[in-house]
Amino acid sequence: MPKPNTSRLDRDIRQTERKLQAVRKQEMWPLTGKERRAVMRALAGGSYKVVRGKSPGRAERKLDMLWQSVMTRLTTELTALQTERQRIVNEAATAKAAKRSSGWW
């Protein structure tokens, strides 16, 4: 029995890990359109406050919460992909064991 084909899942896992690393560096490319707009809104609001001579505290907190929510989303996605990969590997192992035990030896 051949090995289970997990190449697509492995590629998706690697890509999600790259996205997670990019979010930790606060890069914009892994964000969805909605998340990008929210980050830009928070940045614009914070810069407006700074120009006006006020504290950008609320905008900074909002930006931190946005980055945290993106990290949570990507971590959840990564966990789901890893769980699916493990399920496929386990199914293949079970099928292989069943085939071996059904022999007449």
47-74 pLDDT, tens per residue? Answer: 999 999 999 999 999 999 999 999 999 9
- What's residue 13's pLDDT? 97
The 3 state secondary structure assigned to 20-60 is HHHHHCCCCCCCCHHHHHHHHHHHHHHHHHHHCCCCCHHHH
Confidence of residue 100 (pLDDT cuts 50, 70, 90): confident
- What's residue 7's pLDDT? 94
- What's residue 104's pLDDT? 65
Average pLDDT over residues 9-35: 97
